[in-house]
Structure 1
């Protein structure tokens, strides 16, 4: 039987539950499935036996491909992953920000490489095991949230450009994780169906601070100890270096103030970390930069706009205006706390992703908000 190129689909195979289910589903739907597994970063826990040359995920993907009779490739992209994603991860902490490696990895790395391999293997489509859906509307393709709220991954994909979205297939978006496990078991893959979950940050299997020290050995020399300060600038005690803290952090501060203390702000230029009460984390406004939106006018005029400021957080009703420097000023219309530079702000109209951006440093936010207050009332 000859299958037309339009039915050839490249699947990003991690060897796990979700991508395995995707391969089986698409094959059942008449697609000619081609698998590619990216070897991005070798973590010791990914090698089950001594002397094993390939990580478990590659071996598992190869075994599944052989069982299904599909073409499979291994893309060794470890050096590029180090230069792009790991470098970004370290650089963000060194700037006093909290990185979003999964958000950067999807458009800048994994989906780009999948596109390259799709072209190389003559595949019209690209499929992954993300729990989200797609919708075409008014000439644009939008990401929709997945039906399983505990697994929805739409938050991570806001940076995908339209040209990639138009080639994507997300077969699992209308299913729950339990339904995916049941599907695999029904198809005779009982062991795979019982598999565990993957790590959220695939290249870290310990505390990120240890990772920073390991891959940036001079970090303590470059940064060194600094001061914890209060909101008035009063010194409270020494900290280990601003890169080891994140906004909203409470545990691991190693300072006794007689009451709970939270990280409010990080100033990398002065190597200070501001501490305060939980109430001081509350925010009415937020600055967002590096914006990717399908239709900006829709974002600015959406009557039911909401924003998520971290993965798995609730969506907060909001309004948005543009600033002259291409940043967005967001006004929250519900409680918001711990605005963290470097994290993603993802905008939704109901279950539809309108776009997103990175949370910027919030310097002069009160002044900027006051100067633009009237624009929100129009």
Structure 2
């Protein structure tokens, strides 16, 4: 078979990647599988003497049953240095990381492309719930048909060089349809399997993970102060890294009314608390934007943005600041803007790009100084 019909599939041994392999085989592709060993979690080993985690063994079984070539890529050390360290570093900066967003371009899809070249495959394929569309020489990510499983939010950082090699056969299906398809192909037990974790290297509270992999975190940070919006001390907290914007539960302080984390100041080790109304905002700063066509994003008349996974898209307008950041004006108020999370921009169901939510320090002054640009954009001046 020619190289242009040879595809490398990232196999986790689960429902989605298994269905992807079968579908591509039915479409006439010669499928090659690769499973990345990224992070070993004890619960992923069924017996003490087991040399490889369950997902690798499952993927090997599926590959053998389908008669496809299969490889294991042991990338644990690189994964620790690139993804896990980023996760830790972000919390140590008072931010809330998006490890899956960074993992796709910097790690998983990049490694898939490297292994595709190594194994003579033209294409790479994943079990993501999204679709792809070519327009004006560019490839865009389109939301998946299953709104519950849509994963377009996590893929905004993928470059054109990767997108143009990708196949995502599950994008037009719901999760239930994929399960039924897999069962119909004789994989009944697998079709009834459970879902994988959203963050693949954490199987417990992230605070425990931070303490385990950064043993001196409590010495580096130590207890700090909860403060109100005027800077008045309300009580002590465990350390800023253990909190995130919008958090209400697990604060360990009683104020007589519901309190939410409004801001985190890592320099002062303070965590600002307030009421739910104080979480709301009309503006947001986004740093390090990436988009197939920046001019299209800035000019889009029906632009919307998602500020966290599973959040509803919020209609908005965007201008580019001199420092390269985007200033976003929400058409309706948004809540709990969280630095470190992704802001992903859409034109209906098409991803126009994204960026990381920046520190909102000085947002009132910045928005006031640039409000005339939105007025000019809307033809009001």
Match of 2:87 in 1: 89
Match of 1:334 in 2: 332
**Of 43, 56, 59, which residue of structure 2 is paired with 1:58?**
56
Q: Distance in 1 between matches of 2:332 and 2:19?
A: 39
Q: 1:51: how far off? A: 0.8
Q: Distance in 1 between matches of 2:41 and 2:306?
A: 31
1:15-94 superposed matches below 5 A: 15-94=13-92
Match of 2:215 in 1: 217
- Give SS of 2:281's match: coil
Match of 2:379 in 1: none
Q: 1:335: how far off? A: 2.6
Q: 1:50: how far off? A: 2.2
Q: 1:165: how far off? A: 0.3
| 1:203-260 deviations in Å (ceiling 9; x for gaps) | 0000000000000000000000000000000000000000000000000000010000
- Give SS of 1:336's match: strand
Q: Distance in 1 between matches of 2:344 and 2:277?
A: 24
Question: TM-score scaled to structure 1, two decimals?
Answer: 0.99
Q: Distance in 1 between matches of 2:15 and 2:46?
A: 18
Q: 1:109: how far off? A: 0.5
1:9-20 superposed matches below 5 A: 9-20=7-18
Match of 1:145 in 2: 143
- Give SS of 2:271's match: strand
- Give SS of 1:134's match: strand
- Give SS of 2:332's match: coil
Q: Distance in 2 between matches of 1:334 and 1:312?
A: 18
Match of 2:303 in 1: 305
Match of 2:191 in 1: 193
Question: TM-score scaled to structure 2, two decimals?
Answer: 0.98
Match of 1:244 in 2: 242
| 1:281-309 deviations in Å (ceiling 9; x for gaps) | 00100000011111000001100000000
How many residues align? The count is 376
- Give SS of 1:237's match: strand
Q: Distance in 1 between matches of 2:292 and 2:33?
A: 29
Unaligned runs of 5+ in 1: none
- Give SS of 2:305's match: strand
Match of 1:175 in 2: 173
Q: Distance in 2 between matches of 1:193 and 1:102?
A: 24
Match of 1:262 in 2: 260
- Give SS of 1:334's match: strand
Unaligned runs of 5+ in 2: 377-381
Q: Distance in 2 between matches of 1:202 and 1:244?
A: 20
Q: 1:171: how far off? A: 0.3
Query: What value does the CA root-mean-square deviation take over the aligned residues?
Result: 0.4
- Give SS of 2:335's match: coil
Match of 2:354 in 1: 356
Q: 1:168: how far off? A: 0.3
| 1:113-136 deviations in Å (ceiling 9; x for gaps) | 001000000100000000000001
- Give SS of 2:158's match: coil
Match of 2:293 in 1: 295
